[in-house]
Structure 1
Amino acid sequence: MIALLNSQPVLLLTLTALLWAGNTIAGRLAVGEVSPFAVVLLRWVIVAGLLVVIYGRQVVAEWATLKRHLILIVLSATFGFTAFNSLFYLAAHSTTALNLGIIQGSMPMFVLLGALIFYRTPITPLQMAGVLITIFGVVYISSRGELSRLAELEINPGDGLMIVACFFYSAYAVTLRNRPKVPGIVFFTVLAVVAAVTSVPAVLVEASNGSLQWPTAMGWAVVAYIALGPSFISQIFFMRAIELIGPGRAGVFINLVPIFSSIMAVLLLSEPFRAYHAVALALVLAGIWLSERKSSEKAKQG
């Protein structure tokens, strides 16, 4: 079974998207069962522990290369893992899994903008159209389909936090261009360790203001899923799929995350799927499709 799975990139990527979409459901289920920053700390402590046990020797072997990039590694882990996850689970307290999934689906556009800002990577007119359409979709869902709310700066706080989280993740994704030349799993192991360490201050803040809640029985189940599914297994699957078909083709499957998360939110959490959700989801997916269409055409021509 493992050997078969290891040679099926489409199945690996579909399962990866499904696990990542499940994170939006887990974020909502964690409310009242474990505090947001405790989730982040426990998530990365578990993942870092597993990775160090399995890949620790490889990290030691690559340490000469890794230590030359320590500042980049710390910033990447802090923005992409600690800050993004903290805002994600905090946002889950004041918005729906549907909104979380759809807004998270816009991240490819944030990454595109990040590449433009930090590296002056040119954006084609078609890509810019995709960016604008996707941003409009995010704004539309944040205003709950009533754009007049924007004039009064009335945006769901959870949606606002999720948008900021996407900016943090885009900063992380953009820095991957300069990541150390080591195996992906080794780099991920070090990132997870740094994320576990940088998650501690937020938990101390929760403890100081009385909002810290260690997991209930249900909370531990949620934390276990988050650590093993979206954080550990999915990363292994994603990296293996990239080895099989390359990052370009593999990245397209990320578009399944908002679709899967929307379906799961309705089926598992009984969240109402309103017209503005459908419009926003369509806009986000259309924007991503437009931006990737140019890339796929270039790939065919090449």
Structure 2
Amino acid sequence: MSKDDVARPRAARRRLQIAPLILLTLAACFWGGNVIAGKLAAGTLGPLSLSTMRWALAALAILPFALPGLRRDWPHIRAGMGWLAFYGIIGFTSFNALLYSATLYTSGINVAMIQAVIPVFVMIGSFSLFRVGSSALHLLGAALAIYGVLHVASEGAPQRLLQLHLNIGDVMMVLGCLCYAAHSLCLRYRPRIGWQSFLLVTSLFAAVSSLILQLLFGGGIGSLVSDVARLDGAGWTIVAYTTLFASILAQMFYVSGVEAVGANRASLFINLVPVFGALMSVAILGERMAPYQFVAALFIVAGIGLAEYSAARRR
């Protein structure tokens, strides 16, 4: 056997090992870009209009691919309909409606960086609800990350929190993170169905709940129709991005990555979402990071690093 014959299988194995890591990185990048899409849509498309269109189009796009599995999964879907509604309404609609609304009042960098608190909220919820313990190092990391988010929300003056002088956009984003953390914590109750069926049904619930919010708080159907009628090429590009990349491809890539390397390793890549979001805010939106944002980023990165190091030691 020649050296080339030995090298080829090794190279193939390396490619198989690297491929899921690339997919997971792309998923985080696409989710980070969702912040930019929301910011660019401001003034063109209302937050609830964007959310409604995003999830309705995502459901239509995934429908042809989900139909075969939908028939097979239907008994489990019917039994777990309540949880699927919860995921669509809380994890998809509430999180994204708050994210898109937050971009109207605060910077893309803030919106991106505050998302770093989601794993911390999940850790706190896991202990509070399911008694999943954490090490002292993990708790220290969580505390640093939380302080980093508070540092961002208070614009570098944490004492302002005592006076409740907060940017409404930052508050919206923190509430959105609480919604997504609740969604993540409850995924343990997800019906055992294929990811296509899961994405289709949850997207349908997200589209319907977004439309209801549009009717109640977004100006009704007339405002939605008006927003759609005013869309130009740039506006449709934003809608297409949130539908294809932030909704379908990101979810597909993340699920594929989880199947390849396991949930523990895959979950680490979620921490790249605020990184990509902040970098794209600088590169695409032309925003500049203020000194307090740099300080907050150091606390957030240090906190996440300590928490993940602690988790790796325990594994």
Q: TM-score, normalised by structure 2?
A: 0.89
Determine which of 28, 52, 55 is the counterpart of 1:44.
55
2:31 maps to a residue whose letter is W
What's 1:207 paired with?
219
1:143 maps to a residue whose letter is S
Q: Could you tell me how far apart the structure 2 residues matched to 1:127 and 1:6 are? A: 28
What's 1:237 paired with?
253
The structural deviation recorded for 1:117 is 2.5
What's 2:194 paired with?
183
The structural deviation recorded for 1:128 is 1.5
The structural deviation recorded for 1:189 is 2.0
Q: 1:210 to 1:277 in 2, by over 3 A?
A: farther
Determine which of 279, 283, 300 is the counterpart of 1:267.
283
- 1:1-302 equivalences in 2 (<5 Å): 8-205=19-216, 206-208=218-220, 214-215=227-228, 216-217=231-232, 218-299=234-315
Instruction: Say what the alpha-carbon RMSD is for the aligned residues.
Output: 1.8
2:227 maps to a residue whose letter is W
Q: 1:186 to 1:6 in 2, by over 3 A?
A: farther
Q: 1:69 to 1:143 in 2, by over 3 A?
A: same
Q: 1:76 to 1:117 in 2, by over 3 A?
A: farther
2:250 maps to a residue whose letter is S
Q: Secondary structure, in 3 states, of the residue corresponding to 1:62?
A: helix
The structural deviation recorded for 1:15 is 1.2
Q: Deviations over 1:206-257 (max 9, x none)?
A: 1249865514213222111111111111111111111111111111111212
Q: 1:224 to 1:6 in 2, by over 3 A?
A: farther
The structural deviation recorded for 1:124 is 2.2
Q: Could you tell me how far apart the structure 2 residues matched to 1:287 and 1:103 are? A: 13
Q: Number of paired residues?
A: 296
Q: Could you tell me how far apart the structure 2 residues matched to 1:267 and 1:250 are? A: 26
1:207 maps to a residue whose letter is G
The structural deviation recorded for 1:181 is 1.5
Q: Which has the larger radius of gyration?
A: 2
Q: Could you tell me how far apart the structure 2 residues matched to 1:121 and 1:128 are? A: 12
**What percent identity do the matched residue pairs reach?**
34
Q: Could you tell me how far apart the structure 2 residues matched to 1:187 and 1:69 are? A: 11
Gap regions ≥5 residues in structure 2? 1-14
Preserved contact between residue 28 and residue 93 of structure 1 (Cα < 8 Å): yes
2:155 maps to a residue whose letter is R
